[in-house]
Amino acid sequence: MPTAVAAPFRFFSLQVVRTERLGPSLVRVTFAGADLHAFRSDGRDQSLSLFLPHPGQREPAVPVELGEDWWRGWRDLPEDVRAVMRSYTLRALRTDADGQTSEIDIDFVLHGVGPGTSALAGPAARWAARAAAGDRVLLLGPAVADNRAIRFRPPRDTDLVVMWGDETAVPAALAGLESLPAGTRARVWLEVPHAGDIQDVTTGADAEITWLVRAEPRGGTGERGLPLALSALRAAPLPPAGRPYVWLAGESGRVKELRRHFVRERGVDRRRVTFVGYWRQGLTEEQLRERED
């Protein structure tokens, strides 16, 4: 008889346990749920799909009863009814005495949330800013620890890890740093909107971390400051390495520029460069999804 194999991804019904403000632009939300014991992940930059309710809804509207046809059913729901879907990365997970997942953390960027800027905030940022214990969400996540939605994979022969991420990639970058074996050489740039968003980092890696703080939003409009990444990395010397691994994540245009810099200007083997666009300047996630469909 063939051995049953778990589907790589499944839905998890979760509730907010607690929240923690990490800085002006970041809030951590901790989730738990009765079926979270089946959640499996090796961590790092594990990608997840989170479904959030609209204001006034007790829980997100996703027709999970349709099985594999849930996507079609979700898209067919009225826009003001169907759950808001957003992509995030896992910041951390905790297990119980039996080794089963008991809680997970997801860090949210609060774009446009603040006095006089609420109209600029997206639905996920507004939800995260007011999230409270007991709030219900739905998560599409992994039931298999080593799955295709993990991108941070330094080859075993790596002698230098280089990383860049903007605020949307800070959770994944810090999770990646924490996973590196003790003594691993790492050079890291993390770009955030405010000095208050800088976080303490605990890692056994031999890591040099540079926080790039953009200018405050101009004119109270909530617009992002000018990018610092390319100029900062071009000016930065790297320690000598024969087999470097580069991980780049954040705004897709910036990620592509930095990939070209490492491959063309620094001569890094393109096969050893992981680049992930988490968002695109000027487009919502819905607009990006429409372009992909």
Start-to-end C-alpha separation, the chain? 39
Q: pLDDT band for position 43 (50/70/90)?
A: confident
Q: Please give the helix or strand (H or E) that residue 126 lies within, else none.
A: helix 123-130
pLDDT at 7 (0 to 100):
75
**Can you name the residues that pair with 51 across neighbouring β-strands?**
85, 138
- Is residue 124 within 8 Å of residue 112, measured between CB atoms? no
Rounded CA Rg of the chain: 19
Domain 160-279: give its CATH architecture: 3-Layer(aba) Sandwich (3.40)
Position 21 pLDDT exceeds 80: yes
- Residue 41: which pLDDT band, with cuts at 50, 70 and 90? very high
Tell me, what's the pLDDT at 214? 85
Place 118 in a pLDDT band, splitting at 50, 70 and 90.
Answer: very low
Res. 58: pLDDT tops 70: yes
Give the separation between CA 71 and CA 287, rounded to whole angstroms.
16
Provide, for the chain, the percentages of residues in helix, strand and coil under a 3-state DSSP scheme, each rounded to the nearest 5: 25, 30, 45
Cα 4 to Cα 6: distance, rounded to the nearest angstrom = 7
**Best CA proximity match to 170, nearest among 110, 121, 80:** 110
What digits encode the pLDDT tens for the residues 3-17?
A: 344 579 999 999 999
Residue 132, pLDDT > 80, answer yes
**Regarding beta strands 9-23 and 26-32, do their DSSP bridges make them parallel or antiparallel, or are they unpaired?**
antiparallel
Residue 89 makes CB contacts below 8 A (sequence gap 6+) with: 45, 46, 47, 48, 106, 169, 171, 172, 175, 278
Q: What is the pLDDT of residue 12?
A: 97
- Reported as type and span, the H/E element at residue 74 is helix 70-76
| Three-state secondary-structure class, residue 6 | coil
Greater model confidence, 282 or 180 = 180
- What is 9-142's CATH topology? Elongation Factor Tu (Ef-tu); domain 3 (2.40.30)
User: Domain map of the chain by residue range?
Assistant: 9-142, 160-279
Q: Mean pLDDT in the chain?
A: 89
137's tokens: 């969400």
* Residue 116 predicted with pLDDT over 50: no
Residue-wise pLDDT for 138-177, tens only, equals 999 999 999 999 999 999 999 999 999 999 999 999 999 9
